[in-house]
Amino acid sequence: MKKIIILAVLFLVLSSTSMISTAALHVSIKENSKEADSIDNAIKLRVLSIAFPKIARTGRPIFLLVLWPMFLTDGFIHYDWNDGTFQDNGNFVKHIFMQKGTYAIEIELDTIFGLEAVGVKRVFII
């Protein structure tokens, strides 16, 4: 029964990712100017996340939940809080911003399939 539930949750997360964003897969081809033969193909998946509260006061914690199953990651999730601090942790983290402003939290993780998943979540500190 647990296996069925895990598979159902995995299916919902992966299928909702492609339904929510038509650009869930980003294919970028970079061409090296020195050699026209070297082309780097990179497929990046989009990471969906929830920040709560999305608007907070300085000195109050912001909680961030990454909607990506931890068993599909190849290590920790890397967070760039855009205030000069970084964190490598699981899919549920807490951070305190000490200055007012709009922050774009960058999220990066490597999947067990060898693909990179990236995402950005904006929060507002008043």
pLDDT greater than 70 at residue 9: no
Q: For the domain that residue 111 is a member of, what is the CATH number?
A: 2.60.40.10
**Are 44 and 108 spatial neighbours (Cβ–Cβ below 8 Å)?**
no
pTM: 0.65
Question: In the structure, what pLDDT confidence band is assigned to residue 4 with cuts at 50, 70 and 90?
Answer: low
Tell me what the mean pLDDT of segment 81-100 comes to: 94
pLDDT digit string, tens, across residues 18-58: 333 333 333 333 334 444 333 444 677 899 999 999 999 99
Structural domain including 89 reads 2-125
pLDDT digit string, tens, across residues 57-90: 999 999 999 998 888 888 899 999 999 999 999 9
Tell me what the mean pLDDT of segment 88-110 comes to: 95
Radius of gyration of the CA atoms of the chain, in A: 17
Q: How many domains does the chain have?
A: 1
| pLDDT value of position 78 | 96
The token duo for 17 is: 């990712």
pLDDT greater than 50 at residue 6: yes
| pLDDT value of position 35 | 41
Contacts of 79 (CB under 8 A, 6+ apart): 64, 86, 87, 88, 89, 93, 95, 105, 106, 107
| pLDDT value of position 1 | 63
